[in-house]
Amino acid sequence: MKNIIKDNFPNFNQLLIEDIEKNATIKDFNAGEVLIRSGQYIKNTVLVLKGKIKIYREDDDGNEFFMYYLQPGQACAISMICATKNETSAIMAKVVEDAEVLMLPLPLMEKWMAQHRSWYEFVIETYRNRFEEVLEVVDSIAFKAMDERLVYYLNKHKEVNKSKDIKISHQEIANELNTSREVISRLLKKMEQQGLVNLHRNHIELIK
């Protein structure tokens, strides 16, 4: 267990890693599973060791809106926030690639802030990075029309998966951007005509 922590969180110091080993549990999730539900009480802070997790915001009608990816070496900022405030989750986390995560009981997450400098830095850094990421999300929906938002969405997937081949259906994209499948199909068709993508079933190939 020590190595997988050290590898994914190289800035954690020795004592912190030992503390994690003693207190955290490792959990496995399969692609498709929902790790955190909106409204659910958060009892753990989640650190990702393996796989990919997508973070969504949901509304009352069950619509979901994709915000960002969680990857190995990262933590769920929201689980930290809700944690300390003893609030229910404001987001939904869905596993999209078989994942292994560390679950840290919430009280420890607070306690370690004072005890482990490297934990403190990690938490602060997590807040900062996610704050900035959410601000970019605000940009994309406040200032941009659906065509540009689609490009932003596709690029985010390209970066995270390090691949120009995006394996996803139009319907899924529509769900995550909170629009309709037809709109996505139309826009993608237009992008294809402009030579920006090649379209296949369940698969969008980005050109360049």
Partner DNA sequence: TTTAGTATGTGATAAATGTTACTATCATTT
Partner DNA sequence: AAATGATAGTAACATTTATCACATACTAAA
Taking the least distance from each CB to its own copies, the nearer of 180 and 202 is 180
- Establish how many alpha carbons lie within 13 A of residue 84's alpha carbon, considering only the half-sphere containing its beta carbon: 11
**Closest distance between DNA and the C-beta of residue 59, in Å?**
13
Binds its own copies (CB under 8 A): choice among 130, 156, 157, 170: 130
202 counts as binding DNA under rule CB under 7 A: yes
The one-letter amino acid code at 177 reads L
Question: Taking CB under 8 A as the rule, which mask of x and - marks residues 20-49 in contact with its own copies?
Answer: ------------------------------
CB distance 137 to 54 below 8 Å: no
Query: SS in 3 state form for 132-184?
Result: HHHHHHHHHHHHCCHHHHHHHHHHHHHHHHCCCEECCCHHHHHHHHCCCHHHH
CA distance readout (Å), 127 to 8, 22, 101, 120: 18, 25, 19, 11
141 counts as binding DNA under rule CB under 7 A: no
CA angle 4, 8, 10 (to 5 degrees): 105
88 counts as binding DNA under rule CB under 7 A: no
Sign of CA dihedral 19, 24, 28, 29: negative
98 phi and psi, to 5 degrees? -35, 125
Binds 132: which of DNA, its own copies, none (CB < 5-8 Å by kind): its own copies
Stretch that binds its own copies, among 57-65, 96-104, 163-171, 184-192 (CB under 8 A): 57-65
Binds its own copies (CB under 8 A): choice among 24, 75, 76, 91: 91
Contacting positions for DNA (CB under 7 A)? 145-147, 169-171, 178-183, 185-189, 199-203
Contacting positions for its own copies (CB under 8 A)? 57, 59, 63, 65, 67, 77-78, 81, 84-85, 90-91, 113, 120, 124, 127-128, 130-132, 134-135, 137-139, 141-143, 178
